Amino acid sequence: MKIDEKHLVQLAAVVAAGGVVEGASMLGLTQPAVSRTLALLEKRVGEPLFVRGRRPLQPTPLGRDLAQHGMAVIAASRKAAEAIDSFRLGRSGVVRVGGTPYFMDGLIAGMAADFQTTHADVRIEQSYGYIGELKSGLTTGLLDLAICPIALLDEGSGLIAQEILPGRNVVACRLTHPLLMSRKLRPASLLDYPWIAPPPTSPLLADLHSLLLSLGATEAKIRYSGGSLMSVVNYLKGSDALTILPHSTVFSQRNERSITALPVPIPHPERALVLLRQKDAPSMPAVENFAKHIARRFEELRHLIERHEQAVIWGG
């Protein structure tokens, strides 16, 4: 036997309120309409739903059981409405964000954790990639957002780029590196030390080559490669090796007092760290909230870096 769920809801309201008038008012319906529904439901099940002649209304055992099912429908409806409101406000949902490994590990993971202190029901799915993979992920709908350094974005790419931090890479080393003890650091001295190779498809590798060429060399003494950001930091801490890292990533490690940046400028194309998204992607409130959070945190980071660098003299 199939029972109309709307009939169960009206029965539940009448039982909960103790009367037809009160139950109808609870649902925003008229008393005659609810009375007709209860009569139809009784006819449908072939049993009385209320004890005759009792005031206030008293449900029969069957009426009470059916009313409980109606309350379950009401509860499910309320939860559905709450889920819709939560989605529309960006308090729930999924954010699929991809980016270059060092930025994602050094900065974005912590920002994501901070975001979820106020958006606990938003799930964040993080992945890694460089510009080609990230653009592909955005255009095929596998990613909602991408965070990476770029020089120029091709016209007609179908993507929107929002700059969140000026792009700048630095030579990183441990906090007690011998080069930091020199009164006057000679850039050519960098060639005397071993290097950690950046990932093969990273702009960091191109910047290392540019630095070497500016120093009159064609290759560095590579002693380590292929590691994650944490492994690179740990290797730097335990050796006199050097490597190329995003300045913001090195700055984010300042409280650990383990690595720092040498005051040696690196020749590289003008870049910016950007937040990429597909131009015509459907609006997803959780994604919008996360993007705003990331942009705001990077703006705070930019000001911190600027204040910090007022005390640092960089070579020409």
Q: pLDDT digit string (tens) for 109-162? A: 999 999 999 999 999 999 999 989 999 999 999 999 999 988 765 555 789 999
Q: Decide: helix, strand or coil at residue 37.
A: helix
Average pLDDT for 163-174: 92
pLDDT of residue 316: 42
Q: Is beta strand 159-167 parallel, antiparallel or unpaired with respect to 121-128? A: unpaired
Computed over every residue of the chain, the mean pLDDT equals 90
Alpha-carbon gap, residue 41 to 49, rounded angstroms: 8
**Is there a shared CATH topology between the 5-88 domain and the 169-261 domain?**
no
By percentage, how much of the chain surpasses pLDDT 70? 96
CATH topology of domain 92-165+272-309: D-Maltodextrin-Binding Protein; domain 2 (3.40.190)
**Whether pLDDT at 18 is above 80:** yes
The residue behind tokens 């080609």 is 132
Domain ranges of the chain: 5-88, 92-165+272-309, 169-261
- Tell me if the bond preceding 187 is cis, omega within 30° of 0: no
CATH architecture of 169-261: 3-Layer(aba) Sandwich (3.40)
Judge residue 308's burial from the number of C-beta atoms within 10 Å of its C-beta, 0-12 exposed, 13-18 middle, 19 or more buried.
exposed
For 272, the token pair is 């910016």
Share in percent of the chain as helix, strand, coil (round to 5): 50, 20, 30
Instruction: Choose among 43, 48, 36, 44: nearest CA to 10.
Output: 36
Reported CATH class of domain 5-88: mainly alpha
Query: How sure is the predictor about 39, in pLDDT bands with cuts at 50, 70 and 90?
Result: very high
Q: What pLDDT is attached to residue 313? A: 45
Confidence of residue 310 (pLDDT cuts 50, 70, 90): low
Block residue for tokens 């890694």: 128
Residue 312's pLDDT band (boundaries 50, 70, 90)?
A: low
With cut-offs at 50, 70 and 90, classify the pLDDT of residue 30. Answer: very high
pLDDT band at 315 (very low <50, low <70, confident <90, very high): very low
Confidence (pTM): 0.78
